[in-house]
Chain A
């Protein structure tokens, strides 16, 4: 029997990092920046939060302040991702470097940065704990509403998550609203579709690209933080985050650049990611690898179909991946 009540919360927990990454990448791409550094940014966001809270837990000992326990990792995470975003913008917007190359270099750097500090933090800080296990911080992050446990299946499906999960949904809805219904969103889309036109209309291309890419990176970084603090219970292990960053980029295409759709779509991807645990395949472990392929296959199909139908509202932003130089002809 398919156990939906245990399946849904796990699928949702899987989906939250994807949702953060996807929302961040969507608004970035809307400004015409194809940031392939998102996987790296998510690693940096995660490890920055870990470093912050590790040092705090080490120094505070037993007297941990509830507010600081949450605030320090969040602030470190946002700062780390912001720096990555600034680096990307500086190279691609100000220096007009190739976006694909810059993005891939950021991923190499970010993943290396995360794994390096994850693997060497204890040695570098000279402390005497066997592994990075931030259980106190993790408890603060994954605390759900106190009465959720009493509400049976309803509480389990809707209320059993830490606050970062709800924040992800709130951010996605906000992003969707801003993109669709505000002047800022309209101008942002203009920047991504045709920067020359937007420039002629007096919109500052540089400002929009900088702001959206940096905000996008900060949102994506939170996805990494959620993964470590909530999903992985505060335990950092190298490469555990895996290819979720690329999956988030896949999700952007799958949702055809719509953050509100991505809430459900990310849960679908999260479900596909853990589906193999719930399908009775007996001892046949090999099939689970095939199931893990589904999100990517589905994304490819969406990509191809949307290009075949060629409907204007389902296309990538027209200047995606291209830099803008006013004096170019």
Chain B
């Protein structure tokens, strides 16, 4: 029952078309719950539950100087706090590589999908723009933080309302009715390869023995807008094709939860 045996066992189940928890290979856990506006102190927020995995995502806004290379666009930042609350293997302290990858993959999906019309976040070119800061905080990590976090980020952005701003100061105590300028909503699906099998929505035990994973971010117009391949095994073109297909197909199921 070392790593090899744990993997053999999981593969043995997959050969018969079932998972450790009795699910089919391309089935999500139940329940899936998305609760926008979960946090009142944030400008936008959501709680996402997928099976036993639970994350809270919050959006804070601020008025900042734009980056020099995008003087007429708003700033976007995504952070992930993988603290020992949700998983005893996470360590306190500065974000580790796992947290950094998670945040960057979610960041990429949001940025590259162009879901936020960032020019509309410009207040005064080269001087003042709105910054949108998204933070992912897991409550219980039972696997698949990538997709739970990404779904939470999208739902949180959709629930975001601008705070009042008088040209000088942001009044966080008062939120306006103004929403973020959003379109082309991206959905993230991470497909894992274990042996010859492709699965989605992995449990922690399955993540531990995964050969490769591919996070596929698909927009509502069907375009792929971000990818991240992880894991130590390479992928063939055929495998890539199947993974992309599966990701696109499964994104439709998740999309229903944020509409």
A and B, one complex?
no
Which residues in B have some Cβ–Cβ distance to A below 8 Å? none
